[in-house]
Chain A
């Protein structure tokens, strides 16, 4: 091969690199942009269907560290999140498989576990106004007394998903310990859960809130509420 033909081959390859490569790169960026927009639109569709529906829902914004209870697009209450972590179930060191699009789909039919105990009081009508006056003197319990909230509870959704809500004061250190008042019961429950793992959800999203926020959420979360994670990343 002559020197001139080598030079011309080199020149052609340079031209290809200069003109074709940016186009290929541009196509890649376009495809990425299409994928991003499709994912974003899918998320917006979900959010819109929740906002247009008649169910309560929780929205987690990981960037803002905020769990928000919503209804028909309106913010009802914010619960600041101290820490969040995604947990995947292992049984005998084998990780359970996760459903597709787990973090992007709406988690449906939330049920609080342990269930709230609320006993309706049935009033017998008094026979005289004086008896009614004595009944009126009974002061009903506060919400904290009526529905005591545990330090840790789950909101179980369909398809083996669950939110694990922990009330934890950061001033008590990083590690989440069993409260002193019922330490043995709490540790026994932890061991029991570990030894009998089949009733536990396949995936758990652990959210740590301040204790008073966690208790308020436990008491007030409406039945069968939904949950989704809002993602604004590219």
Chain B
């Protein structure tokens, strides 16, 4: 086919005003549609909105002040329990439970560590004697790429512990991860692991290599930067050290 014939065929199939015609027909169809079904569409949309509004209004919560909600609810009783029947028995049981509950409460001072918010509290029953900004474990993971290919997770442990020993002028015996992290070879001579002054003036050891100790980097307090130990500022550490004894409970959450 010659070029002129191709051009003629193209013009025959796709007239120049094709786009214009298409646009006109589309608009016309839409207008006709609105003209005939418009009111129905508007009504349907309104019905949908009303249904949603009704569903939303009827599917919320009925709130009552807690005291009212509690007063309206009957207390739970355990039908399976062999409840003592006489008042004297019940009173004796009440006393026994109260004293058992009192025994679970720690006596004297205790330490509370909030790992997520990086805080240490020195508490005595329901009183906070000291709130200190601290640093807890970073949560980082370190893989050893050669040698024994070990993995360390730098988390502060959760649960209840006790002060196992109190150390003045503690010396840090650097564990293997400290060398791996620094990109240094692990020494064979134990003397090369000793570092003075890094842990501050005092340390409270609570087991499994974990301590509450001081820091050279007080500007980082409040941030999770440690390898699992708890760091405190100098003044707070002094107070904590003075107030606690071997056996003082430590609760970490």
Contacts and interface: CB of A to CB of B under 8 A. Distances in A.
Interface string B131-150: 00000001111111100000
A48 B56 contact: no
B138 A122 contact: no
B181 A125 contact: yes
Interface residues of B, number: 74
Contacts of B87: 30, 33-34, 37
Contacts of A88: 61-62, 64
Interface string B224-253: 110000000000000000000000010101
Nearest to A140: B223
A140 B138 contact: yes
A71 B251 contact: yes
A42 B110 CA distance: 29
B105 A125 contact: no
A135 B183 CA distance: 11
Interface in A53-97: 54, 56, 62, 69, 71-78, 84-93, 95
Contacts, number: 215
B251 A220 contact: no
Interface in A81-138: 84-93, 95, 100-105, 118, 120-129, 131-132
Given A42-B78, A45-B97, A195-B52, A122 B140 contact: yes
B123 A75 contact: yes
A38 B214 CA distance: 51
A147 interface: yes
A82 B87 CA distance: 38
A3 interface: no
A8 interface: no
The prevalent SS among residues of A at the interface is mixed
Contacts of A121: 138-141
B184 A129 contact: yes
B174 interface: no
Nearest to B115: A220
Contacts of B81: 42
Contacts of A143: 116-118, 222-224
B126 A75 contact: yes
Q: How large is the interface on A (under 10, 10 to 19, 20 to 34, 35 or more residues)?
A: 35 or more
A1 interface: no
Nearest to B223: A140
B117 A62 contact: no
A101 B101 contact: no
B60 interface: yes
B36 interface: no
A133 B231 CA distance: 21
B38 interface: no
Contacts of A197: 59
28 contacts: A37-B93, A38-B77, A38-B90, A39-B76, A44-B101, A71-B253, A75-B126, A77-B121, A78-B126, A86-B63, A88-B64, A90-B59, A91-B58, A101-B75, A101-B77, A103-B69, A123-B142, A123-B143, A123-B181, A125-B144, A125-B181, A126-B181, A129-B183, A143-B224, A195-B59, A216-B114, A220-B116, A229-B70
Given A34-B87, A104-B73, 10 more contacts: A34-B85, A42-B77, A44-B94, A44-B97, A48-B104, A85-B65, A129-B184, A132-B184, A143-B223, A194-B59
Q: Which 10 A-B pairs have the closest CB atoms?
A: A101-B76, A73-B104, A86-B69, A87-B61, A126-B183, A39-B75, A44-B97, A194-B56, A104-B76, A37-B90
Interface of B: 52, 55-70, 73-78, 81, 83, 85, 87, 90-91, 93-94, 97-98, 100-101, 104-106, 110, 112, 114-118, 121, 123, 125-126, 138-145, 153, 158-160, 180-184, 220, 222-225, 249, 251, 253
